[in-house]
């Protein structure tokens, strides 16, 4: 049973006791009195600070680089991350690798030390409220702020191809364990979007797939895995970003699903996440006309409160997607967006573009009565309760030596490779080229990605092959294509990697220049008559651009483990067991090229 938060506040303050199964988690009763006591002693300014999750520049809380100091001055008028925490007393901090030229993430010991320094700054404030430290570590090649030595798990769509809830849970557990070791308390994952639009420019392989049941099953498994690893989980992007043709980082997309489609496609994974005990749900900067025409979900009371709170019964934390994305900024000024999002039902406001403006706008709205103190207390209650529940109040610090031993631990790396080996999908093998005969051979590796093509070449080289690499970038030039054709003549096998060779221009509806050029490279290599293996190393839809290609493999990402698995499958060391987690349409729109669940074995 879910009891309204206002009732919980009253009960915890001395009225009849609130039920121990509310809000959301059993075992919260010991914390409620502490939270109520903290709320009573907090100023309005401190409460407003808890609503914000900010970014900070630098790898050291107190001694950042001169470049990082300059960024902090520009954003916050202070030099150091610790000073930013002291100024705003935010509820959380989010780590980035390279964003606005700032940088938080280096080696594990450094990140652990940064986390400790930020927590020290938070605990030095009068109320001694520790930070929630977050990061986007979805797994896979696209959204993974921690690179090596952090273990590189295969990512969502690869897990969808593997069809294993156990693998999805273990993948999340490894990620969570490593994040916990460096002081990160929350991962902005799993992605719960159902990718039903092959032209989706922002989700794609970040989604598990196009089947709501499969997405729901693996999202639930990931929630369990993150919790087992010691971090809280965030399902995103509510109410669903899987059927958009525009990237909300650069505009405001619209999802045209009617209510029936919403219930059948988009909402099941979020319902499953809630049932699995998800801690936080992140909003999407998308317009859903079926619920609230013209209003982004992040700013919609009908969506965040009416749909997510009242209908789905979610009583955890609602966090906005980044408020500096154009999906928010193109519609609402910096002083309006945070207030509108909060009034819509959000609890946490993520990286507003102008922190002083956003903070003062919310503070003014509370002082004027536009935001009631009761409504403010409800969100701060959720945030503080979450921190108690996660044990952040009890033990906010980490051991840098333990972080070094944990991140990239041998057993984690071994699990990552084993899980990845179960995800590679053989889409076509019409000429029987695969599996390759063992023994030395001359291999040309062409196509997209300097690191990707080299990783493929290294995997072949370790098996005695002589390799040549001709990386041609996202948009191969005519000269690059000609060079690859020439090199193919003296090769026994050609492997060509593609990345978004099916990408569509949202303005014209036709293929992008990059997609046209990559398709031209594939076709030119096929025309040489040499055995050509096409490896779609990102979205599996690429095959629709060159359906005549006789041999096609999908990896759903380009981590080193995924490139190793690719070559293992090509040599027959691993029997390809991945199955398409999406259906592949024909490029001319005439129907389906390959169905959901398609995949070949040996």
**Burial (Cβ within 10 Å: 0-12, 13-18, ≥19) of residue 261:** middle
Q: Cα–Cα distance between 425 and 555 in angstroms, integer?
A: 7
Q: Counting beta carbons within 10 angstroms of the beta carbon of residue 581, is it exposed (0 to 12), middle (13 to 18) or buried (19 or more)?
A: buried
Q: Select from 373, 377, 374, 383 the least CA-distant residue to 350.
A: 383
Q: Is residue 357 exposed (0-12), middle (13-18) or buried (19+ Cβ within 10 Å)? A: middle
Task: Find the length of the chain.
Answer: 602
Is-catalytic flag, 193?
Answer: no
Structure tokens at 529: 């008559």
Structure tokens at 521: 């490279």
531 and 493 Cβ atoms separated by less than 8 Å: yes
Query: Is-contact 177 229, C-beta < 8 A?
Result: yes
- Candidates 261, 339, 267; CA nearest to 307 is 267
- Going by C-alpha positions, the residue among 368, 281, 366 that lies closest to residue 46 is 366
60 is catalytic: no
Separation between Cα atoms, residue 488 and residue 447, nearest integer Å: 12
Is residue 231 within 8 Å of residue 172, measured between CB atoms? Answer: no
Of the residues 79, 193, 315, 321, only one is catalytic, namely 321
Number of other CB atoms surrounding residue 120 within 10 Å = 16
Active site amino acids: 249, 321
């Amino acid at each position: 049973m879910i009891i309204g938060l206002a009732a919980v506040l009253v009960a915890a303050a001395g009225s009849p006791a609130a039920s121990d199964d509310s809000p959301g988690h059993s075992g919260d009763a010991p914390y409620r009195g502490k939270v109520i006591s903290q709320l009573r002693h907090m100023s309005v300014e401190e409460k407003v600070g808890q609503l914000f999750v900010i970014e900070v520049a630098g790898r050291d809380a107190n001694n950042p680089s001169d470049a990082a100091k300059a960024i902090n001055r520009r954003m916050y008028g202070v030099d150091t991350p610790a000073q930013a925490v002291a100024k705003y007393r935010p509820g959380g901090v989010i780590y980035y690798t390279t964003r606005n030229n700032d940088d938080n993430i280096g080696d594990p010991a450094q990140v652990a030390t940064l986390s400790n320094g930020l927590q020290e700054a938070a605990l030095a404030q009068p109320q001694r409220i520790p930070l929630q430290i977050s990061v986007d570590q979805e797994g896979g090649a696209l959204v993974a702020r921690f690179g090596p030595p952090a273990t590189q798990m295969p990512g969502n769509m690869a897990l969808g191809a593997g069809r294993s809830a156990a693998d999805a849970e273990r993948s999340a557990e490894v990620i969570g364990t490593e994040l916990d070791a460096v002081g990160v308390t929350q991962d902005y994952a799993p992605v719960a979007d159902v990718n039903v639009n092959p032209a989706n420019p922002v989700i794609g392989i970040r989604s598990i797939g196009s089947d709501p049941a499969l997405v729901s099953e693996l999202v639930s498994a990931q929630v369990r895995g993150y919790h087992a690893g010691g971090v809280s989980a965030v399902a995103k992007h509510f109410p669903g970003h899987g059927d958009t043709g525009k990237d909300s980082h650069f505009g405001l997309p619209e999802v045209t699903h009617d209510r029936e489609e919403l219930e059948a496609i988009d909402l099941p994974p979020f319902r499953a996440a809630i049932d699995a005990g998800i801690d936080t749900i992140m909003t999407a900067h998308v317009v859903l006309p079926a619920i609230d025409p013209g209003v982004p979900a992040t700013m919609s009371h009908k969506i965040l409160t009416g749909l997510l709170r009242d209908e789905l019964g979610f009583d955890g934390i609602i966090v906005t997607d980044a408020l500096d994305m154009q999906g928010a900024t193109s519609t609402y000024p910096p002083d309006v967006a945070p207030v509108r999002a909060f009034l819509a039902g959000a609890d946490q406001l993520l990286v507003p573009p102008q922190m002083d403006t956003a903070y003062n706008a919310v503070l003014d709205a509370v002082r004027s009565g536009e935001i009631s103190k009761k409504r403010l207390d409800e969100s701060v209650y959720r945030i503080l309760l979450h921190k108690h529940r996660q044990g952040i109040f009890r033990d906010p610090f980490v051991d840098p030596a333990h972080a070094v031993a944990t991140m990239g631990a041998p057993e984690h790396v071994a699990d990552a490779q084993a899980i990845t080996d179960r995800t590679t999908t053989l889409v076509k093998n019409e000429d029987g080229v695969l599996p390759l005969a063992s023994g030395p051979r001359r291999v040309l590796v062409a196509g997209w990605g300097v690191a990707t093509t080299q990783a493929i070449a290294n995997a072949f080289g370790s098996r005695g092959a002589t390799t040549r690499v001709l990386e041609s970038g996202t948009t191969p030039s005519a000269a690059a294509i000609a060079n690859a054709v020439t090199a193919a003549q003296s090769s026994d096998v050609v492997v060509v990697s593609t990345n978004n060779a099916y990408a569509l221009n949202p303005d014209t509806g036709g293929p992008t220049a990059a997609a046209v050029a990559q398709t031209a490279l594939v076709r030119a290599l096929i025309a040489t008559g040499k055995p050509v293996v096409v490896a779609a190393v990102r979205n599996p839809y690429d095959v629709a651009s060159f359906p005549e290609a006789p041999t096609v493999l999908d990896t759903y990402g380009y981590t080193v483990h995924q490139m190793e698995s690719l070559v293992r499958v090509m040599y027959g060391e691993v029997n390809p067991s991945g199955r398409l987690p999406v259906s592949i349409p024909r490029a001319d729109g005439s129907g389906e090229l390959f169905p959901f669940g398609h995949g070949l074995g040996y």
